[in-house]
């Protein structure tokens, strides 16, 4: 084997931290979700036991952050405490997401079905956990969480995006929500929606590159909405397969009008 190649590997960049495995990070988030929404809840659990379980999860988060941020001067214990201080707010907004999906989908038989089986809710859970850590400026861990959900559901939500309450993702596969996207309350997205940037030049890092979607907006499958200055006004409906790079006024309907031709095939003709 080539000694020069192994010398090259020996000189690889040193990143200065000991990042826990992606499985370790995602498994912690799954345990947190199951803590909030147990798979099987046949009897109530005493509050003191729940508090003990929460403290265990809090300490695990502190250790994950500490391992990841060994080279940084951040207080891992304080960040983990801050996260769990926000747990009631996280639970409340996730409950609003459950209601959005259950109330909006005639096929949903129960809230429990939404929690256990809907990929949209799975992706939203991981996004909301990751977003708290992203706001706290924890590096890498938020992205590991949302990319785990992306790999499981096909729904790609950047952890730094801002998303309001009562958020409904229907079906979900192929949805992309960029880093600087802002989404209001009571917004519904169907599969294949892209909320992206007009340009991906590296020098635009930190700029508002992705659209703003105001309250009570529905965006149907295959719609592409691009640009940091693009605003979809509240109470608007965006039809399927549209391409939008300019703002849409509130109470608007935007739709694509293809020409569809239906031709009857003669029964005697071969197909």
pLDDT per residue as tens digits for the range 228-253: 999 999 999 999 999 999 999 999 99
Q: What is the mean pLDDT of residues 159-170?
A: 98
Q: Which segment of 74-78, 95-99, 178-182 scores lowest on mean pLDDT? A: 74-78
pLDDT at 262: 87
pLDDT at 202: 63
- What single-letter DSSP state applies at residue 219? E
CA distance 115 to 31: 14
In the predicted model, is pLDDT for residue 204 greater than 70?
no
Q: What is the pTM of this model?
A: 0.90
270: pLDDT confidence band, cut at 50, 70 and 90?
A: low
Angle at 61 between CA 59 and CA 67, to 5 degrees: 105
CA distance 126 to 131: 8
* Chain segment 81-116, per-residue pLDDT in tens: 999 999 999 999 999 999 999 999 999 999 999 999
In the predicted model, is pLDDT for residue 258 greater than 70?
yes
CA distance 248 to 39: 42
* Chain segment 6-17, per-residue pLDDT in tens: 888 888 887 656
174: pLDDT confidence band, cut at 50, 70 and 90?
A: very high
In the predicted model, is pLDDT for residue 269 greater than 60?
no
CA distance 116 to 70: 36
Q: What is the mean pLDDT of residues 203-227?
A: 92
CA distance 106 to 103: 7
How does the average pLDDT of the chain come out, rounded?
91
- What single-letter DSSP state applies at residue 248? B
pLDDT at 75: 80
Which H or E run contains 188?
strand 188-189
CA distance 109 to 39: 16
pLDDT at 259: 84
pLDDT at 94: 98
Which of 44-58, 67-81, 200-214 shows the highest mean pLDDT? 44-58
203 or 193: which leads in pLDDT: 193
226: pLDDT confidence band, cut at 50, 70 and 90?
A: very high
Q: Which long-range contacts (CB under 8 A, 24 or more apart) does 33-42 make?
A: 33/125, 33/129, 36/90, 36/91, 36/94, 37/115, 39/116
Retrieve residue 75's tokens.
């207080």
1: pLDDT confidence band, cut at 50, 70 and 90?
A: confident
Buried b (16+ CB within 10 A) or exposed e, 39-52: eeeeeeeeeeeeee
pLDDT at 77: 85
Q: What is the mean pLDDT of residues 27-50?
A: 90
CA distance 254 to 219: 10
**Pick from 200, 165, 207: nearest CA to 183:** 165
Q: What is the mean pLDDT of residues 120-124?
A: 98
Q: Which residues contact 121 (CB under 8 A, 6 or more apart)?
A: 97, 98, 101, 114, 115, 169
């Amino acid at each position: 084997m080539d000694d020069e190649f192994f010398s090259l590997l020996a000189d690889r960049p040193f990143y200065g931290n000991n990042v826990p495995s992606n499985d370790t990070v995602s498994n912690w988030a799954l345990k947190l979700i199951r803590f909030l929404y147990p798979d099987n809840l046949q009897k109530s659990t005493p509050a003191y036991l729940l508090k003990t379980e929460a403290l265990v999860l809090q300490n695990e988060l502190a250790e994950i952050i500490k391992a990841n941020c060994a080279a940084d001067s951040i207080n891992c214990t304080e960040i983990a405490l801050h996260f769990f201080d926000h747990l009631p707010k996280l639970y409340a907004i996730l409950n609003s997401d459950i209601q959005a999906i259950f109330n909006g989908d005639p096929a949903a038989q129960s809230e429990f079905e939404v929690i256990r089986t809907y990929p949209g809710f799975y992706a939203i859970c991981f996004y909301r956990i990751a977003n708290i850590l992203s706001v706290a400026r924890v590096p890498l861990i938020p992205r590991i969480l949302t990319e785990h959900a992306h790999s499981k559901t096909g729904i790609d939500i950047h952890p730094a995006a801002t998303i309001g309450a009562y958020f409904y993702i229907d079906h979900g596969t192929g949805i992309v929500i960029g880093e600087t996207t802002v989404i209001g309350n009571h917004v519904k997205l169907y599969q294949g929606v892209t909320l992206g940037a007009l340009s991906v030049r590296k020098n635009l890092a930190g700029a508002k590159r992705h659209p703003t979607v105001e309250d009570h907006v529905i965006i149907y499958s295959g719609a592409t909405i691009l640009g940091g200055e693009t605003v979809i006004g509240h109470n608007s409906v965006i039809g399927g397969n549209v391409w939008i790079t300019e703002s849409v006024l509130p109470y608007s309907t935007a739709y694509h009008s293809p020409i569809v031709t239906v031709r009857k095939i003669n029964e005697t003709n071969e197909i």
